[in-house]
Amino acid sequence: MQTQLTVSLLLFATCQCLPFYNGFYYDHILNNISSNGNGEAIHFNGVKLVVYTPEDDLFGYRGGNITLPCSFHYEPALQSPRRFRVKWSKLHKDNTKEKDVLVAIGLRQRSFGEYKGRVHLRQRVPDEVSLVITDLRLEDHGKYKCEIIDGLEDESGIVELELRGVVFPYQPHHGRYQLNFHDAKKACEGQDSMMASFEQLYKAWEEGLDWCNAGWIRDGTVQYPITLPREPCGGKDTAPGVRNYGERHKHLHKFDAFCFSSALKGKVYYLEHPDKLTFAEAKEACVQDNAKIAKVGQLFAAWKFQDFDRCDAGWLDDGSIRYPIAFARLNCGPPEPGVRSFGFPEKHNKFGVFCYKMS
Ligand SMILES: *[C@@H]1O[C@H](CO)[C@@H](O)[C@H](O)[C@H]1NC(C)=O
């Protein structure tokens, strides 16, 4: 009891520096304390097995490769090498469940599920058991456990992988607050993205995201990021922060969505075409150009990672009209960079179009 009290007080003190209160931030810190496997050790026969993983998060991007470092040694050093097994697994959000990624015994390696064919061990020195993941996907972000199994006991370390990406708020064509949790998830997936996690939304807020409509995020809560406090968005006198409505009913309650997309394989471009086009013509024109009409997540990714900049409004796959401004200037919307949105006009109206091509 005494210990618990001390820990909470300590956390409270630590968090005074934060610009806002959010229960999830505390959870995050608690998780880090309780799951910190860095350099932990077990003892058997007076020999200690120590597993090392980096404490800092690693960053990858979609389509890229990443190495999750892990190594181990014995204290004192062993006279002759022991047989050991390596198991990499991915932890579920709350650290209770895990999913096998790769198991290796000696030279034999086996990978599982969506990691099949995309992972292998890197062992440049005998005590290295780093995991290489190739062709990273949006779903790959999270905590990975590197486990060395030797005899009856095992020891492990945790590596956290994040994807560099962009968070964007999403409303469907029928307007504001029309999505329950499940619809929101589908809406993000339909735009070549996935629902944002709290960490991703928080990071986007730190980078300046300000959105005065509440949206679902992956943990089932509804939140919205405010950098410029104002009356309709929680009050003028409140601190900037990610405002939290807490958990909502996943079927009954309806909000917008916060989606997350990472770097693109391929490119988004504004189709040079002699005429402005209706929505149906726009889709067809991209196909004629051996491409597809771009999705919202693709436009945001091109804007964020390729500085895609075009001051012409164009159709996107969901029937919305937007344009990306990486270098803000006169007559191209607000003074900050951003993807400008004109909502969902009637489909017979004529505009340009953004296409997407896998390079
Ligand atoms: C990732 O690794 C694979 C296989 O090792 C390689 O073929 C590919 O070019 C790498 N991709 C990048 C983006 O470096």
What is the 3-state secondary structure of the chain?
Answer: CHHHHHHHHHHHHHHCCCCCCCHHHHHHHHHHHHCCCCCCEEEECCEEEEEECCCCCEEECCCCCEEECCEEEEECCCCCCCCCEEEEEEECCCCCCEEEEEEEECCEEEECHHHCCCEEEECCCCCECEEEECCCCHHHCEEEEEEEEECCEEEEEEEEEEECEEEEEECCCCCCCCECHHHHHHHHHHCCCEECCHHHHHHHHHCCCCCCCCEECCCCEEEEEECCCCHHHCCCCCCCEEEEEEECCCCCCCEEEEEEEECCCCEEEECCCCCCECHHHHHHHHHHCCCEECCHHHHHHHHHHHCCCCCCCEECCCCCEEEEECCCCCCCCCCCCEEEECCCCCCCCCEEEEEEECC
Residue 18 lies in a domain: no
pLDDT at residue number 25: 31
CA distance 47 to 83: 15
Q: Assess whether 257 and 291 both reside in one domain.
A: no
Note whether residue 40 is domain-resident: no
**Are residues 288 and 349 both part of a single domain?**
yes
The residue whose C-alpha atom lies closest to atom 4 belonging to ligand 1 is 134
Q: Does a structural domain hold residue 15? A: no
20 is a domain residue: no
- Tally of CB atoms within 10 A around 43: 10
Q: Which ligand 1 atom is the nearest neighbour of the CA of 64?
A: 13
Give the residue, by CA position, lying nearest to ligand 1 atom 6.
134
Ligand 1 and 65: CB distance under 6 A: yes
Report the alpha-carbon distance of residue 354 to residue 321 in Å, rounded: 9
Same domain membership, residue 349 and residue 269: yes
Domain boundary among the residues 127, 143, 163 is at: 163
Q: What is the pLDDT of residue 97?
A: 86
Report the CATH number at residue 60. 2.60.40.10
Do 146 and 198 belong together in one domain? no
Do 54 and 158 lie in a common domain? yes
- Nearest protein Cα to ligand 1, atom 12: 64
- Shared domain check, 190 and 119: no
Low-confidence ranges of the chain (pLDDT < 50): 1-41
Q: How far is the CA of 84 from the centre of ligand 1 (A)?
A: 29
Same domain, 58 and 154: yes
Of 261, 279, 309, which marks where a domain is finished? Answer: 261
Per-residue model confidence (pLDDT) at position 150: 84
Q: Does 247 reside within a domain? A: yes
* 34 found inside a domain: no
Are 137 and 195 in the same domain? no
Give the Å distance between the CA of 301 and the centre of ligand 1.
Answer: 20
Tell me how many domains the chain contains: 3
Output the CA 134–ligand 1 centroid distance in Å: 6
CATH number of residue 240's parent domain: 3.10.100.10
Q: Is the CB of residue 67 below 6 angstroms from any atom belonging to ligand 1?
A: no
Residues 318 and 347 in one domain: yes
The reply to whether 51 and 142 lie within a common domain is: yes
In a shared domain, residues 341 and 233: no
Range of the domain at 181: 165-261
Mark whether 89 and 116 lie in a shared domain. Answer: yes
Length of the chain: 359
